[in-house]
Structure formats: C-alpha cells, structure tokens
C-alpha cells in the first residue's frame, strides 16, 4: 500500500512536515532513518523519513520524492514484528517461506488497509 500526496508549500521539507504532523496529530510521529527500504542519498548516507505510528503493527512512512510530493508506504514499525510479518527481501525463498508469506498477506491485508487509510488522512491535512 502506497500513495503519492502533493504537499502545501508551507511543509516542503521533512523537518517542517514532521513538526506539522507532530503538532496536529494525536498519533506518535517521529523522524527516523529509512531502515525499511534502505534508501541512500548522493553521499551514500541513509536517508530519513517520517514515521506516523498507530501501533506496533501499523504505521506509515513518508518521504519526499520531489520538491512538494510525498510518498507514503504502510510499514510495520516494530523491528521484531517487521522481521516476522514484513516483506521478505531475500532474492531466493524456499517454498515454506513463500506459502507463509501468502498466508500472512491474506490474514493481515484488511487490518493493514484500514490502518493505512486512517494514517493517510493525517498526512492529507498538509496536502494541497
């Protein structure tokens, strides 16, 4: 689950958007290094993102893809839960990992979509 949102000119930096979300939302909001996708900048340093957290299983991360467009993705913020329920990035998986991955997708899909929509509404407060 992901979406692109065009942000108002007042919030076109990660710091400004983080401050806005921290002040207007009653959810936990933090600025963290993007350990989910391991994005790096031109200097090879890990880039940061904003994490808007509903629970240990449901959060969205937001980062700028250009000057005023933010990309949001559903993530599992808890590192242990992400290791178990998150997407496997292994190049080759055995049949058991593939089957359990599909089962997890089916079981968690509804609750993840509902949480994504709720968290997405919070970011839309800064949208044009």
Residue-wise pLDDT tens digits, 96-121: 767 767 776 776 677 778 887 888 88
Chain centroid to Cα 44, Å, comes to: 21
Q: What is the pLDDT of residue 91?
A: 56
Q: How far, in Å, CA of 89 to CA of 92, rounded? A: 9
> Model pTM?
0.75
26-84 residue pLDDT tens:
889 999 998 888 888 888 889 999 999 888 778 889 999 988 899 998 887 766 566 55
Mean pLDDT to the nearest integer, 78-94: 60
Distances (CA, A) of 76 to 25, 57, 115, 122: 19, 5, 11, 17
∠ CA 120-123-124, rounded to 5°: 85
Structural tokens at position 1: 């689950």
Q: Which residues pair with 2 in a beta bridge?
A: 73
Higher pLDDT, 80 or 9: 9
**For residue 87, what pLDDT is reported?**
60
**Residue 49 region, left (φ>0) first, then alpha (ψ -120 to 50), else beta?**
beta
């Amino acid at each position: 689950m992901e979406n692109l949102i065009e942000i108002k000119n007042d919030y076109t930096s990660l710091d400004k958007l983080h401050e806005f979300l921290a002040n207007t939302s009653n959810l936990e909001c933090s600025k963290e290094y993007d350990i989910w996708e391991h994005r790096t900048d031109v200097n090879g340093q890990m880039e940061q993102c904003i994490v808007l957290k509903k629970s240990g299983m449901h959060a969205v991360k937001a980062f700028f893809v250009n000057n005023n467009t933010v990309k949001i993705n559903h993530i599992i913020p808890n590192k242990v839960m992400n290791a178990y329920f998150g997407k496997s990035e292994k190049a080759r998986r055995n049949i058991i990992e593939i089957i359990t991955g599909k089962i997890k997708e089916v079981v968690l899909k509804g609750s993840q979509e509902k949480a994504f929509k709720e968290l997405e509404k919070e970011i839309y407060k800064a949208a044009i």
